[in-house]
Structures are given as structure tokens and as C-alpha cells.
């Protein structure tokens, strides 16, 4: 990162040197502000309704939902309260955000988050730092996760399902946690794929199949449809999700878009592309 700054500023110095030799000190005065402007700028306020602000807040929540790896604690964006944007020349755009969150299922307000999201010019996935308050009962969350885990572990016949939710938007209650786990795992894919201008929602689980595992894990193969905005494109992803409560999710995926490009990747909850700092306080 430093060397890029170095290159930029030495290039400016060189070109200024040539010109000042010909046009004298007056031009030096005119050019100086432009050269200074090439340094990191101060963050500027954004409208909380700006599409990029909501987009960046959703990226931060994809990261949070993936990292917490808890199907019972999924959060969606409530309202953006504050948004600022800093342009870092040669590096990328950094968003500073404050927003409220809602429980994924009940839509009840469950707390506020402070987050930074840095879209790097050269790296694919945005770097996220997020701290949130959480008003939901943590014990209840843990119990729900553990009960789902126990039920899946006791399964002698693998769970198999399709079209969750169905075309009427309904989710059969027994498949609700299976779907929620797909959202948590897809959040990894959505975080990886997100850019400043492209966002993702998990639209539907097309197909799910459980692998009965001898290890103490819950293991699912999913086919999911991701909805890309604002292009409205549907992207089909195959995602393998391996889960144990209170452990990072293990995710492997490949995706195929309507334009037939293929992408793949994998995550284990130890990604270095992002700073740590998930705090859940009441």
C-alpha cells in the first residue's frame, strides 16, 4: 500500500518539476493544491438513503452473519443512520456506517452496528470491520442453534428438500433452520462477490441434501439462487456448508451466472481479508 502512495507522489513531483522550470513560480502555486488533493481525502457525508450506503451496510451484515455462523441469529439491515465515504487514492473507497439491524425472521429491531467497509481496487472482497449491539436473548439463540444441531445429528435418513421458500413465499417450519443455515453460508459467498455497485440477496434454496457425517458436524449440500442487484440477474450457486454451533462455518462454493461465468472459493472463518472485531453486547 505504501509503495503505491510513493509511486503516485513521486510521479506528481516529477511532472511538476518539468513544468515549473518553464512557467515559473506562479504555476507552482496553481499546481500545489492539485498535488495535495492526491493524498487521502477527508470522509464526506453521504445521504443515508444513498444506494451505496445501504449496499455497504448489507456487505457488513453478510460478513457478520457468516462469521457468527448462527442460523438463529441472522440479521438484516434496518435503517442506515449515518454514512460517510472516504476516497483513498490508489487504494479504494472506505465507508463509515452506523445502522440499525432487524431479526431476519421477525423483522424486529435487534440493535445497532458501527462498521467500516473498504472496497479495494485490487482485491476482490471488501474488508469489513463491524461492532454491534444485540438485544435478542443470547441464551435463547444458543438453545435454538443447539436444538437444531442435535436434531440434525440424530437424523438417520439425510434431510432432502427443494424450493425453500416455495413459490408462495412459504417455508415449512421444520425446514426453517435448514434455510437459515443456507443464508449464513451464502453470506460468505455474497460478501466475497459484493462490490461497491453490485449487491446480493439469497432468493431461494433450490435443493438441499444432508450428508450424514461421522464427525460432530452438520453437513449440507445446497443449490441456491442469489439475486444480484441492480442487474436483477439470478446466479446459481452450489454451496457445501459444514457447521458446528459456536464454531466458524466451513463453506465451499461454485457459482454459475446467466452469462455462464464460473466462480469458486472457500472459507473457514479465518479470512484475513477483514479485521476482526465482532462484538455482541447487550
Ligand X SMILES: *[C@@H]1O[C@H](CO)[C@@H](O)[C@H](O)[C@H]1NC(C)=O
Residue ranges binding ligand X (CB under 6 A): 114-116, 129, 131, 277
DSSP state of 212: P
Q: Give 97 or 189: the residue with its C-beta nearer to ligand X.
A: 97
- Rg, Å, the chain Cα set: 23
Q: How far is the CB of 130 from ligand X (least distance, A)?
A: 6
Under 8 Å between Cβ of 71 and 181: yes
Q: How far is the CB of 131 from ligand X (least distance, A)?
A: 4
Closest residue by beta carbon to ligand X: 131
Residue from 278, 252, 256 nearest 267 by CA: 252
Q: Give 53 or 205: the residue with its C-beta nearer to ligand X.
A: 53
Q: How far is CA 71 from CA 27, 32, 35, 232, in A?
A: 62, 54, 50, 26
Q: Give 129 or 257: the residue with its C-beta nearer to ligand X.
A: 129
Q: How far is the CB of 207 from ligand X (least distance, A)?
A: 37
Per the rule left: phi > 0, alpha: psi between -120 and 50, beta: everything else, 192 is alpha
Q: Give 60 or 74: the residue with its C-beta nearer to ligand X.
A: 60
- At residue 248, the 3 state secondary structure works out as coil
DSSP state of 154: T
- Residue 172 has φ and ψ, to the nearest 5°, of -65, 130
Q: How far is the CB of 145 from ligand X (least distance, A)?
A: 24
Q: Give 128 or 242: the residue with its C-beta nearer to ligand X.
A: 128
Q: How far is the CB of 281 from ligand X (least distance, A)?
A: 10
Amino acid at each position: 500500500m505504501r509503495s503505491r502512495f510513493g509511486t503516485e507522489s513521486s510521479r506528481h513531483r516529477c511532472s511538476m518539476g518539468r513544468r515549473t522550470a518553464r512557467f515559473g513560480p506562479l504555476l507552482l502555486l496553481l499546481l500545489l493544491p492539485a498535488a495535495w488533493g492526491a493524498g487521502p481525502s477527508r470522509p464526506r457525508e453521504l445521504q443515508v438513503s444513498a444506494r451505496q450506503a445501504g449496499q455497504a451496510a448489507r456487505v457488513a451484515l453478510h460478513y457478520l452473519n457468516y462469521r457468527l455462523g448462527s442460523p438463529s441469529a441472522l440479521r438484516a439491515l434496518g435503517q442506515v443512520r449515518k454514512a460517510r465515504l472516504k476516497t483513498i487514492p490508489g487504494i479504494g473507497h472506505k465507508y463509515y456506517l452506523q445502522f440499525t439491524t432487524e431479526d431476519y425472521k421477525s423483522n424486529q429491531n435487534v440493535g445497532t452496528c458501527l462498521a467500516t467497509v473498504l472496497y479495494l481496487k485490487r482485491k476482490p472482497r471488501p474488508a469489513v470491520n463491524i461492532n454491534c449491539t444485540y438485544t435478542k436473548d443470547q441464551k435463547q439463540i444458543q438453545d435454538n442453534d443447539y436444538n437444531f444441531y442435535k436434531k440434525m445429528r440424530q437424523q438417520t435418513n439425510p434431510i432432502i428438500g427443494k424450493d425453500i421458500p416455495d413459490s408462495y413465499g412459504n417455508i415449512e417450519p421444520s425446514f426453517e433452520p435448514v434455510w437459515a443455515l443456507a443464508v449464513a453460508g451464502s453470506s460468505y459467498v455474497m460478501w466475497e462477490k459484493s462490490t461497491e455497485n453490485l449487491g446480493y440477496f439469497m432468493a431461494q434454496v433450490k435443493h438441499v441434501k444432508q450428508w450424514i457425517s461421522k464427525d460432530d458436524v452438520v453437513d449440507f449440500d445446497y443449490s441456491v439462487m442469489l439475486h444480484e442487484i441492480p442487474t436483477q440477474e439470478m446466479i446459481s450457486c452450489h454451496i457445501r456448508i459444514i457447521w458446528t454451533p459456536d464454531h466458524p462455518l466451513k463453506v465451499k462454493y461454485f457459482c454459475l451466472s446467466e452469462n455462464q461465468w464460473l466462480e469458486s472459493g472457500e472459507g473457514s472463518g479465518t479470512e484475513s481479508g477483514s479485521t476482526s472485531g465482532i462484538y455482541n453486547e447487550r
